[in-house]
């Protein structure tokens, strides 16, 4: 059987494009367009120039905007830019989207488009499982770093020609020094979260190079009680590593179609819908001074994110994208929220209007929504949680409270939720198989929904209620395709640009990958 890492590497090495279900292939195609769109939208930022100057100027990897660079420098640039504004794509267990694509671009030479898409899916599945095994841990950044490292190592290692044994050692080497990132680094408002992704990618590239030269890593890293799961998780979920080739985590991919954190996307998009309806009804925009207050009723993930973000106030572009109050402030002030609005210059010019609106956003936690989320997790992801005990959840909750303070959904509160429903959700978990192949992943939805009411100074209110964000599982697929193509083409794109995006999404799978990557990264 081998260790977990060896099984992951063998499965990834044996995967072929013909093995991929149709829905998985479709998502992989869009994943490349979406990632390229996020990167191109910020390719002219000062940070991008700084990264270019810090890297090499010649190499075999394509750079956004043209030219080439060494593989690790190209990958570092694209990873950092892709995560700058929370505009990347997420699986249910982590921000896999950028790493699983950018790694293939760096190693595209000599491969076909199908090779890139296959490596992308392999990276999704391996990295998503690493993230899933670590969800009960002290910091989302710990998951992010491990997810990025595992995804990049898998995709890059496959295209660099590693065999199964070498790929296993590359994964072991890459994950051997896990990054447990402080919350302040993720939410502090600077470029820290970009460097989490970029640094993890560089670590992965180095691990692949070492493995290719024969270096060996600790292959039992995911099996040992004192391995990475013990270091980064309070309740390791080893069931995450089951169901390879039968349970496709790629089915849970949510495309980042607005530069906001996935936990806050729904309320922000609900406000966007209200603003559009106001223009249609009144034939004019709702002004900042016409907003009396904005009420958000949300579940625990969104509420928790808002509370955590309030401890690190900032109007830096990368901080606004994870703060529901300031994101709504930008949206009302500009009647748009895209990369063009999340610049230091724009945020400085609109500072007073943004902060005025943000101060009027009132957020209420709704236990009914939280219960719906928990029930959905049990219904769809029950096999992952099989074997988890109430005592383990209680311990995790106590440790989480020590780090984050009192939030609506620690382990203790989760126990209260699980006990509120007849039939006992914990009992349902007790009888789960522990095999992800039995999880109905095609039914998964990111139910970070919200009920929103925008009250005006005239005394009325504009309501909006929705459950999932644009581009998430459960959202209309044809609309998702249209929006991803629009993201790739860029804001204000004309019909020709949109048609070119659609054509690129249907690129010949047997075609040269280098030309495909050039087209993706052309600005």
- What average pLDDT score do residues 14-30 get? 97
For domain 259-469, the CATH class is alpha beta
Lowest mean pLDDT among 77-86, 293-302, 329-338, 418-427: 418-427
Which pairing describes strands 61-62 and 68-69: parallel, antiparallel, or unpaired?
antiparallel
With cut-offs at 50, 70 and 90, classify the pLDDT of residue 411: very low
Residue 29 near residue 266 (C-beta atoms within 8 A): no
The token pair that represents 144 in the structure block: 């992010």
Q: Bridge partners of 296?
A: 363, 452
With cut-offs at 50, 70 and 90, classify the pLDDT of residue 401: low
Residues of each domain in the chain carrying CATH 1.10.4100.10: 4-41+78-252
Calpha distance 311→345 (Å, rounded): 24
Q: What are phi and psi of 329, to 5 degrees?
A: -60, -45
The token pair that represents 385 in the structure block: 């949680």
With cut-offs at 50, 70 and 90, classify the pLDDT of residue 422: very low
CB burial of 165-183 (b: ≥16 within 10 Å; e: otherwise) equals: bbbbbbbbbbbeebbebeb
CB burial of 457-480 (b: ≥16 within 10 Å; e: otherwise) equals: eeeeebebebbbbbbbbebeeeeb
- Asked if pLDDT for residue 455 goes beyond 80, the answer is yes
User: Angle CA(476)–CA(481)–CA(487) in degrees, nearest 5?
Assistant: 120
Share of the chain above pLDDT 90, in %: 71
Other beta carbons less than 10 A from residue 496's beta carbon: 9
Q: What is the pLDDT of residue 413?
A: 52
Residue 187 near residue 312 (C-beta atoms within 8 A): yes
The token pair that represents 34 in the structure block: 């979406």
Residues of each domain in the chain carrying CATH 3.30.1330.120: 259-469
Highest mean pLDDT out of 83-92, 141-150, 381-390: 83-92
Q: What is the pLDDT of residue 378?
A: 87
CATH number of 4-41+78-252: 1.10.4100.10
In the predicted model, what is the mean pLDDT of the chain? 90
């Amino acid at each position: 059987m081998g260790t977990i890492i060896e099984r992951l590497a063998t499965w990834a090495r044996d995967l072929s494009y013909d093995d991929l279900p149709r829905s998985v292939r479709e998502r992989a195609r869009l994943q490349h367009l979406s990632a390229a769109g996020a990167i191109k939208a910020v390719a002219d930022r000062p940070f991008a120039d700084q990264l270019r100057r810090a890297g090499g100027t010649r190499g075999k990897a394509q750079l956004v905007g043209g030219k080439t660079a060494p593989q690790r420098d190209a990958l570092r640039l694209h990873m950092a830019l892709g995560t700058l504004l929370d505009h990347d794509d997420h699986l249910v267990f982590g921000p896999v989207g950028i790493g699983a694509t950018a790694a293939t671009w760096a190693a595209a030479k000599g491969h076909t488009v199908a090779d890139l898409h296959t490596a992308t899916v392999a990276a999704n599945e391996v990295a998503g499982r690493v993230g899933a095994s670590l969800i009960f841990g002290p910091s989302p950044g710990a998951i992010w770093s491990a997810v990025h490292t595992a995804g990049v190592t898998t995709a890059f290692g496959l295209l660099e020609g590693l065999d199964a044994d070498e790929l296993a050692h590359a994964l072991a080497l890459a994950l051997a020094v896990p990054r447990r990132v402080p919350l302040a680094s993720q939410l502090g408002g600077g470029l820290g979260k970009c460097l989490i992704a970029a640094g993890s990618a560089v670590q992965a590239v180095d691990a692949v190079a070492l493995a290719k030269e024969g270096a060996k890593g600790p292959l039992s890293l995911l099996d040992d009680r004192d391995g990475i799961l013990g270091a980064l998780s309070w309740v390791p979920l080893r069931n995450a590593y089951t169901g390879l080739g039968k349970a496709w985590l790629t089915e849970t991919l949510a495309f980042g179609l607005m530069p906001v954190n996935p936990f806050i996307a729904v309320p922000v998009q609900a406000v966007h819908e209200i603003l559009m309806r106001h223009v249609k009804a009144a034939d004019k925009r709702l002004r900042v001074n016409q907003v009396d207050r904005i009420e958000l009723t949300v579940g625990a993930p969104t509420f928790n994110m808002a509370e955590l973000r309030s401890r690190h106030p900032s109007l830096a572009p990368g901080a606004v994208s994870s703060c529901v109050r300031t994101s709504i402030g930008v949206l009302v002030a500009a009647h748009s929220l895209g990369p063009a609005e999340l610049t230091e210059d724009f945020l400085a010019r609109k500072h007073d209007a943004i902060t005025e609106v943000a101060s009027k956003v009132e957020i209420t936690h709704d236990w009914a929504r939280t219960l719906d989320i928990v029930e959905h997790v049990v219904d769809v992801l029950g096999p992952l949680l099989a074997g988890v005990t109430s005592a383990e959840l209680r311990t995790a909750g106590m440790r989480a409270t020590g780090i984050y303070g009192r939030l609506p959904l620690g382990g203790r509160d989760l126990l209260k939720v699980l006990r509120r429903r007849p039939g006992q959700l914990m009992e349902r978990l007790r009888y789960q198989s522990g095999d992800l192949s039995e999880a109905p992943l095609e039914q998964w939805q990111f139910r970070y929904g919200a009920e929103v009411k925008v009250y005006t100074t005239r005394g009325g209110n504009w309501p909006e209620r929705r459950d999932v964000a644009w581009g998430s599982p459960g959202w209309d697929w044809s609309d998702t395709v249209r929006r991803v193509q629009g993201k790739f083409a860029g804001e204000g794109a004309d019909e020709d640009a949109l048609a070119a995006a659609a054509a690129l999404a249907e690129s010949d799978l047997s075609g040269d990958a280098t030309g495909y990557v050039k087209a993706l990264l052309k600005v």
